[in-house]
Amino acid sequence: MKGAYLPSSSEVVSLYKRENIPLMRLFEPEPEVLEALKGSGIKVALGIRNEDVPYLANDVNMAIVWVNNNVVPYAKDVNFGWITLGNEMVPGDGSELIPQAMNNILSGLNGVGLTGIKVSTVVSSAVLGETYPPSAGDFTSEARGPMTGIIEWLVGTDNPILFNVYPYFAYMASPDEIPLGFALFDTDQPIIDGEYKYYSLFEAMVDAFYAALEKNGGRKLTLVVSETGWPTAGNEPHASKMKQTGTPRRPADILDIFLFAMFNEDEKPPGVEQHWGIHYANMDPVYTLTF
């Protein structure tokens, strides 16, 4: 987090519990936060930094050490749901190493009996070339190679894929083509794609990703939305309209959704980057949100 006067880790965990927020994502291990999470019941997605992925891929012993240092000391008292290898590495340098890194971390977890923790990676909509209509969703040529390897590993080990999806950025990139109400969960005029009706850009983007997965061997994969949100500076709090439901393409698959972010970050560049939080630094809510 890039903000002055943010609350302490214990205060943040207390806020999560008070507001019944069930999920927390950490981009890397933070001992102070993990200590504060003990006994909270909050389900945690624990990240591994992009720059660490090559080392973990090339040395299974290093992966075992990582697990012993960052998971084992807390595992009895912290509800680890996912370990995520890298954030938005695909397409890019080192992305071809992700499957081996995931495999080594999984070996480390299995070696200490922590078989209930899912292992995955986090990708963004940058992996998508075609997105409209959603059923045409497919990966870019640059992303297809690494994504195929990732999908094959995840399917073979029964692990999910984590996806960062931001309707705000998609809308801002094409404001003349995307109806504002469609981007803001505020339309009664659906976009029709064959048998599916879409009332929000969020659902359309998720289903475009599902379609890409299905075209590349990932029909059986489950999905976690690891980041989404809408900045509030000068905007209505549209993130409050997101619900944990399925999508038209997969209505029965209820999504785990992580909202970005818990707090506004005043040390980020001026503008919308400072205003993604659902709370101010003093822990007052930016808008009403029920979990």
Give me the CATH number covering residue 263. Answer: 3.20.20.80
Indicate whether 287 belongs to any domain.
Answer: no
Is 106 a domain residue? yes
Q: Is residue 196 part of a domain?
A: yes
**What pTM was computed for the model?**
0.91
List residues bridging with 124 in a β-sheet. Answer: 164
| Domain range enclosing 93 | 9-274
From 111, 88, 97, 81, select the one nearest 222 (Cα to Cα): 81
Integer CA distances (angstroms), 238 to 174, 198, 212, 232, in order: 18, 17, 27, 8
Contact 131, 125 (CB under 8 A): yes
What is the number of structural domains in the chain? 1
Nearest one of 183, 165, 184 to 125, comparing CA atoms: 165
Please say if 265 is a catalytic residue: no
- The H or E element containing residue 161 is strand 161-164
Question: In angstroms, rounded to a whole number, what is the distance separating the alpha carbons of residues 77 and 85?
Answer: 22
Is 282 a domain residue?
A: no
From the list 28, 88, 142, 265, the catalytic residue is 88
Q: Does residue 118 contact residue 138 with C-beta atoms inside 8 Å? A: no
Residue 88 annotated in active site: yes
Tens-binned pLDDT, residue by residue, of the chain (291 aa): 454 578 999 999 999 999 999 999 999 999 999 999 999 999 999 999 999 999 999 999 999 999 999 999 999 999 999 999 999 999 999 999 999 999 999 999 999 999 999 999 999 999 999 999 999 999 999 999 999 999 999 999 999 999 999 998 898 899 999 998 998 888 999 999 999 999 999 999 999 999 999 999 999 999 999 999 888 764 554 555 555 579 999 999 999 999 887 766 666 667 666 666 677 788 888 877 665
Contacts of 112 (CB under 8 A, 6+ apart): 67, 68, 72, 75
Helices 60-70 and 98-111 cross at an angle (nearest 10°) of: 60
Catalytic choice (152, 227, 236, 273): 227
Q: Is 279 a domain residue?
A: no
pLDDT at 185: 86
Q: Which residue has the tokens 């996912």?
A: 82
Buried b (16+ CB within 10 A) or exposed e, 186-204: ebeeebebeebebbbbbbb
Within-domain flag for 180? yes
d(CA 158, CA 204): 25
Is 241 domain-assigned?
yes
* Domain membership flag for residue 284: no
**What whole-number distance in Å separates Cα of residue 26 and Cα of residue 255?**
19
